[in-house]
Structure 1
């Protein structure tokens, strides 16, 4: 009988592989592209639209990681990014 360590619980997936980074999925690619495009000299309406798309894509990615992440590390990452994304939109 093998004992599961804290490292195993946090960083290993259901197949026993250590998973910290993964290939990008569509929401994170969408976020990256929209974020870069907001840096270009564009109209205010397009800037707003890209900001909404960027936030929505990042929110979607974080939500998916939080509830479908392959391990506790990925789920924690989703929670941190989700809280950070929401906090960035709050008026302090």
Structure 2
């Protein structure tokens, strides 16, 4: 059986197509910290939550980049990593 580009990109080692997965701990921390920034708007707490969100998103992106189940998930990790870094640079 010939392996197509689609198979290489979207299938995991078990042959399953994987595009989305339930959020893991680092992505859940990012979502929680991001949502809490809307509640806590005072500067020290907001800044702390922003830092936690940024670090957890970078951690998730690196996990996907190096341990993603297929090339699509690894590419997604790279894109999110680059976007997060660029966004942080623009914020400064």
The interval holding the TM-score normalised by the smaller chain is: over 0.9
- Once residues 10 and 90 of structure 2 are traced to their aligned partners in structure 1, the CA distance between those partners, rounded to angstroms, is 35
Shift of residue 42, structure 1, vs aligned partner: 3.2
- Runs ≥4 residues deviating over 4 A: none
Gaps of 5+ in 1: none
Structure with the higher helix share, 1 or 2? 2
| TM-score between the two structures when normalised by the length of structure 1 | 0.95
Gaps of 5+ in 2: none
Q: RMSD across aligned C-alpha pairs, in angstroms?
A: 1.1
1:51-75 Cα distance to aligned partner (Å, 9 max, x none): 0000000000000000000000000
1:73 corresponds to: 72
1:42 corresponds to: 41
- Once residues 47 and 31 of structure 2 are traced to their aligned partners in structure 1, the CA distance between those partners, rounded to angstroms, is 16
| TM-score between the two structures when normalised by the length of structure 2 | 0.95
